[in-house]
Amino acid sequence: MAEICTLKHAVAQHLHDGDTVALEGFTHLIPHAAGHEVIRQGRKDLTLIRMTPDLIYDQLIGMGCARKLVFAWGGNPGVGSLHRLRDAVENGWPHPLEIEEHSHAGMANAFVAGASNLPFAVLRGYKATDLVKYNDRIKSVTCPFTGEELAAVPALRPDVGVIHAQRADAKGNVLIHGIVGLQKEVVLSARRSIVTVEEVVDALDPPANSCVLPHWAVDAVCAVPGGAYPSYALGYYERDNRFYKAWDAIAKDRDGFRAWIERHVLGTEDFDGFRASLEAARAEEAGP
Amino acid sequence: MAEICTLKHAVAQHLHDGDTVALEGFTHLIPHAAGHEVIRQGRKDLTLIRMTPDLIYDQLIGMGCARKLVFAWGGNPGVGSLHRLRDAVENGWPHPLEIEEHSHAGMANAFVAGASNLPFAVLRGYKATDLVKYNDRIKSVTCPFTGEELAAVPALRPDVGVIHAQRADAKGNVLIHGIVGLQKEVVLSARRSIVTVEEVVDALDPPANSCVLPHWAVDAVCAVPGGAYPSYALGYYERDNRFYKAWDAIAKDRDGFRAWIERHVLGTEDFDGFRASLEAARAEEAGP
Amino acid sequence: MSENDFTTNEMMTVAAARLLENGTVCFVGIGLPSQAANLARLTHAPEVVLIYESGPIGTKPDVLPLSIGDGVLAESADTVVPTHEIFRYWLQGGHIDVGFLGAAQIDRFGNINTTVIGDYDHPKVRLPGAGGAPEIADQSGEVFVVMRHGLRSFVDKLDFLTSGGYLEGGDAREKRGIAGKGPTRVITDLCVLEPEAGSRELVVTSIHPGVSREQIAEATGWDVRFANDVTETAAPTAEELRTLREFLARTAEAHGDTA
Amino acid sequence: MSENDFTTNEMMTVAAARLLENGTVCFVGIGLPSQAANLARLTHAPEVVLIYESGPIGTKPDVLPLSIGDGVLAESADTVVPTHEIFRYWLQGGHIDVGFLGAAQIDRFGNINTTVIGDYDHPKVRLPGAGGAPEIADQSGEVFVVMRHGLRSFVDKLDFLTSGGYLEGGDAREKRGIAGKGPTRVITDLCVLEPEAGSRELVVTSIHPGVSREQIAEATGWDVRFANDVTETAAPTAEELRTLREFLARTAEAHGDTA
């Protein structure tokens, strides 16, 4: 049953050290605000799951929140590397990061299996890739009817699923539209779930067959306007491609990254504070 | 690539004697017009697939079009039996009908597996039912990770998938809304597909994330206004519950059924003719 | 009929409806279950969440659907999902509190038959079949069965096991690794039965007003037993009867039945 | 730059775009493939169907998306489906004619690496990883690879096999039971390579204007061979260049790059 509460409360309540956590978002609706709150509350030893870890995972990893990363594609789309992820994998900074690597098809099927309460997913995949040499969680099953051998991956069942969405109503029913990615599956596959939304409205009035999460299938709903920034929320604001490009320089060296996090994330109370702090920095750069 | 054509042409072109055919529709959007055209063209030895066979399957079976029925629930919802189905199963009239019986969960998963080009589906199901004693196509698989045993059913891959939908555009892109059932999966799991629609419009302009079939994934699109009658098309017309109730008497005895089909289906050129013929009969009954 | 008279069918529907709590997530079968679930929604449980297997979630029909996919279910739903999602994410996913089923036959352990009367290959009566029932019976948190009492329906031995209750009784269900609690209530036009601790045999726990133990025994195909503390079912309130009758009247009108 | 001059990158994008036929259903990777696929759509193939793994089907972006999930992809799409459906119904379902990929490393048999440079456990350079590529490479009807030519990218031996081409060559791919035809074209800033019949080794079949065989040999990490009937790639037309440059200019503006 959804509790409508602050993000600070939701993270304190539902997301603990050592948890397996999926903060999903396929370019769209990435829960940056929730990721920042995890950093502020200093979570440790997390196993982070995401098909496409990007800036917010770079920040969580760079701040040492993660013990392990389960992923398929870790980069800054259209820009390049995630320097904090690379530093962790290549140099073990701030500490070594265990990785479990899949393909998108494998992880997408694994989330569907998780949402379906199945222990594993079956797919045609991993047929000609070295991924299977380094990931012993990719196995095979034989079709009991045709004898064909197919790939099998364990279902993803995170302790906590975290997503951002456009809207919730007063009860906590959530509406997601545009590129819905695997937002629904992440919540349904998780033991506990946190959904940040652009706004809480009186009534959702969703179009027929749109992607809706009923309030009784979600644990916490938090109004965080702009909470996906620098990702985007269709119908609210666009992706800040400039920020994605600027991140490359910010994350390149350890001290610069630390300074940025300390000033804009640890140095602020919440996401509004973070946005204001960024604006102030931009004004400074622009000069008088 | 969708051909926009008459239903008569589509059935002649794509649906042949001996084919395995799924005319799906979960109460909503049942392709009655397409079923009538199959009867008019005198198809034989069909294997009919449907989760919920109802009046149109009763008619196809009563006219001897079917050799086998794959199904989960065969009745006249809220009314009672399908007398032609029962007569075929209980008395072999007009000829014996082989049946392969599943649960809804089993068939729904089997259509999803078919649409996904997988040979089988995995589900938690068939755990305590005699269905497994009479259906050797329900088997089991063992999870390679947990060792759990789960049910497995073969994917449904019909030769022909037939559905009714609300709209198509000039290219043949199809929009389905309301209770979408498994309409999308039926088309994607089938080798060939026929979609009847209420109307062909210039542009679909579907709401975000609605259920759309791209024209290049459909073989034939036929404009048949009212083509789901006595089922319904959300936004166009309601289910004719009176007809569902009246069907009970029509189908009860063999001669009455035959006479009805000969007058209203075989005696008419197309679905418009069928509707007109029904109206005429009603006028007669009402008397002067 | 005066407002305080009521039929045994009305008593059955009212008794079944009372079992649904506000906020319960309920997977609704067509027919009597649908009638009872909607009566609950229109009386004491306005926030009950009704899910029909065709796809509607959180539906609030103003008339009783004749089928599980009537338009009114889609139009009044919080959301409508594909049928496969209902079975995969919502039922198998473990989100259903109560599965509400009807049946043609039931035995002393709450196992039900909706498939055939007589031999499967040469049936006396071919019934509609399983539909969603086997998985609803397995995977719902608990199951309520509502059906009329009678020797043809309350049988010593099922002709066909469509959906499992407590199977051979005792812990047979748990041994089979079935997730849900099983049929915790069977509501008929004469009484309410519940599984006895240990044996899991259905015993009568509440008798509807004006019904005798003899009537129940004569209408049951096995030597039915009565709980030590059998209560009398509270008669339908005026409010319950009015709501049910208005609902059924609206329905009859919508479906074009003669009053 | 005069309208008839063009860069090697422009030649690469134009040569890649020309390979997409009108009506082709194309699974588009981000970066160079996305650029080429959209150029095709804006020139000779207005009906090409572009699918991005985030969910948009039949998308028609007016500027190049920086990511595979930009809003412009959703807003201009015929439909947007969940990401898992893209992989299960559309790619695995067998509906993709052409998978359009980029890569960090490629070998003589069209096998590609987008995972690591150096040892997996102690990488010199950790690359983003597989993403959708392994299944796109396996399940698309055929695969086009577009990438810049160079000794670091055209290698004798991959550091990591992310996505399979012709594997060890010959019929190794078929023997592995892989559905799609594999990489039938590799388009670079110097030339176009295609698998040779039989050996399935990539050989140069078309050389871009002004490029010498020596340049190609020096930029290839294996002893690259040339087909008997090597042609010269037709230079970009004024129309192709204008369309590409306008598209990239619109994109730079939208992404806030300095011109």
**Residues paired with A47 in a beta bridge:** A20, A68
Using a CB–CB cutoff of 8 Å, tell me whether C117 touches chain B. no
Both tokens of residue B22? Answer: 């799924």
At B272, give phi and psi (nearest 5°): -60, -40
Let me know if chains A and B touch, i.e. at least 3 Cβ pairs under 8 angstroms.
yes
The CA-atom distances, in angstroms, between C64 and each of C73, C77, C143, D166, D180 are: 9, 14, 21, 61, 51
Element holding C17 (H helix, E strand):
helix C8-18
Using a CB–CB cutoff of 8 Å, tell me whether C26 touches chain A. no
> How high is the pLDDT of residue C64?
87
Both tokens of residue B30? Answer: 């049942």
Let me know if chains C and A touch, i.e. at least 3 Cβ pairs under 8 angstroms.
yes
Rounded Cα–Cα distance for residues D53 and A126 (Å):
17
Spell out the residues 6+ positions from residue C150 whose beta carbon is closer than 8 angstroms to its own. C219
With CA atoms as reference, report the closest residue to A225 among A281, A275, A182.
A275
Of C57, C58, C93, the CB nearest to A188: C93
With CA atoms as reference, report the closest residue to D82 among B193, C84, B25, A109.
A109
Placement of tokens 């059935």 in the chain: B11
Q: Kindly provide the ipTM of the predicted complex, given to two decimals.
A: 0.97
* Average pLDDT over every residue of C225-235: 97
Chain D contact set for B210 (CB, 8 A): 79
pLDDT digits (tens, 9 = 90+) for C18-71: 999 999 999 998 889 999 999 999 999 999 999 999 999 999 999 888 877 788
> How high is the pLDDT of residue D3?
53
Rounded Cα–Cα distance for residues A228 and A195 (Å):
11
Chain A contact set for B211 (CB, 8 A): 209
**Residues paired with D125 in a beta bridge:** D117
Is D174 one of the catalytic residues? no
**C66/B239 CB distance under 8 A:** yes
Of B51, B128, B238, the CB nearest to C164: B128
Rounded Cα–Cα distance for residues D31 and A73 (Å):
14
Chain D contact set for A27 (CB, 8 A): 54, 67-70
**A179/D69 CB distance under 8 A:** yes
**C126/B239 CB distance under 8 A:** no
Using a CB–CB cutoff of 8 Å, tell me whether A91 touches chain C. no
Report the neighbours of A using a cutoff of 3 or more CB pairs below 8 angstroms: B, C, D
The CA-atom distances, in angstroms, between C96 and each of A1, A43, C145, D2 are: 13, 33, 15, 68
Both tokens of residue A191? Answer: 């033991």
CA of D5 vs chain B CAs: smallest distance (Å): 39
List b or e across D81-120, with b for residues whose CB sees 16 or more CB atoms inside 10 angstroms: bbbbbbbbbbbbbbbbbbbbbbbbbbbbbbbbbbbbbeeb
**Predicted confidence (pLDDT) at residue C3 exceeds the cutoff of 60:** no
**A149 three-class SS:** strand
Chain B contact set for D21 (CB, 8 A): none
What count of Cα atoms within 13 Å lies in the side-chain half-sphere of residue B238? 14
> How high is the pLDDT of residue A100?
97
Let me know if chains B and C touch, i.e. at least 3 Cβ pairs under 8 angstroms.
yes
Element holding C28 (H helix, E strand):
strand C25-28
Rounded Cα–Cα distance for residues B199 and B162 (Å):
16
In total, the C-beta contacts within 8 angstroms joining chain A to chain B are 75
DSSP state of D222: S
Rounded Cα–Cα distance for residues D10 and A129 (Å):
32
**B206/D79 CB distance under 8 A:** yes
Placement of tokens 């929320």 in the chain: A233
CA of A126 vs chain C CAs: smallest distance (Å): 25
> How high is the pLDDT of residue C259?
37
Rounded Cα–Cα distance for residues D61 and D72 (Å):
6
**B144/A143 CB distance under 8 A:** no
Question: Do A61 and A21 form a contact (C-beta atoms < 8 A)?
Answer: no
Using a CB–CB cutoff of 8 Å, tell me whether D258 touches chain A. no
Rounded Cα–Cα distance for residues D159 and D162 (Å):
9
Using CA coordinates, name the residue in chain D closest to A184: D82
Given the residues C3, C10, C53, C232, the one annotated as active site: C53
Placement of tokens 């305080």 in the chain: C4
Rounded Cα–Cα distance for residues B201 and B171 (Å):
10
- pLDDT bucket at C257, cuts 50 / 70 / 90: low
List b or e across C89-99, with b for residues whose CB sees 16 or more CB atoms inside 10 angstroms: bbbbbbbbbbb
**Predicted confidence (pLDDT) at residue A213 exceeds the cutoff of 80:** yes
Both tokens of residue C50? Answer: 């009704």
CA of A199 vs chain B CAs: smallest distance (Å): 19
**D161/A130 CB distance under 8 A:** yes
CA of B119 vs chain C CAs: smallest distance (Å): 17
Rg (CA), chain A: 19
pLDDT digits (tens, 9 = 90+) for B141-172: 999 999 999 999 999 999 999 999 999 999 99
Chain C contact set for B75 (CB, 8 A): 127-129
Using CA coordinates, name the residue in chain D closest to B114: D93
**A104/D135 CB distance under 8 A:** yes
Using a CB–CB cutoff of 8 Å, tell me whether A6 touches chain D. no
CA of A218 vs chain C CAs: smallest distance (Å): 11
Rounded Cα–Cα distance for residues D139 and D200 (Å):
18
Given the residues D10, D53, D135, D240, the one annotated as active site: D53
Chain C contact set for A177 (CB, 8 A): none
With CA atoms as reference, report the closest residue to B25 among D86, C90, C68.
C68
**B1/D23 CB distance under 8 A:** yes
Q: Which amino acid is at B142?
A: T
Using a CB–CB cutoff of 8 Å, tell me whether A142 touches chain C. no
Chain D contact set for A123 (CB, 8 A): 87-88, 92, 135
Which A residues, 148 through 207, put their C-beta within 8 Å of a C-beta on chain D? 178-182, 184-185
pLDDT in tens, chain D (259 residues): 455 699 999 999 999 999 999 999 999 988 899 999 999 999 999 999 999 999 999 999 998 888 777 888 998 999 999 999 999 999 999 999 999 999 999 999 999 999 999 999 999 999 999 999 999 999 999 999 999 999 999 999 999 999 999 999 999 999 999 999 999 999 999 999 999 999 999 999 999 999 999 999 999 999 999 999 999 999 999 999 999 999 999 988 887 764 3
**A116/C88 CB distance under 8 A:** yes
Report the neighbours of C using a cutoff of 3 or more CB pairs below 8 angstroms: A, B
Question: Do A217 and A189 form a contact (C-beta atoms < 8 A)?
Answer: no
**A178/B208 CB distance under 8 A:** yes
Residues in chain B, pLDDT under 50: none
**Predicted confidence (pLDDT) at residue A78 exceeds the cutoff of 90:** no
CA of D44 vs chain A CAs: smallest distance (Å): 26
The residue length of chain A stands at 288
Using CA coordinates, name the residue in chain B closest to D55: B209
At D251, give phi and psi (nearest 5°): -65, -45
**D179/A178 CB distance under 8 A:** no
Spell out the residues 6+ positions from residue D2 whose beta carbon is closer than 8 angstroms to its own. none
**A104/D70 CB distance under 8 A:** no
Residues of B with CB under 8 A from a CB of A: 117-120, 122-124, 137, 139-141, 143-146, 148, 150, 152, 154, 177-178, 180, 207-211, 234
Using a CB–CB cutoff of 8 Å, tell me whether D89 touches chain B. yes
Using CA coordinates, name the residue in chain B closest to A147: B119
Rounded Cα–Cα distance for residues D132 and D87 (Å):
8
Rounded Cα–Cα distance for residues A74 and D87 (Å):
19
Chain A contact set for D130 (CB, 8 A): 72-73, 101-104, 129, 131
Rounded Cα–Cα distance for residues D51 and A267 (Å):
42
Of D57, D74, D92, the CB nearest to B214: D57
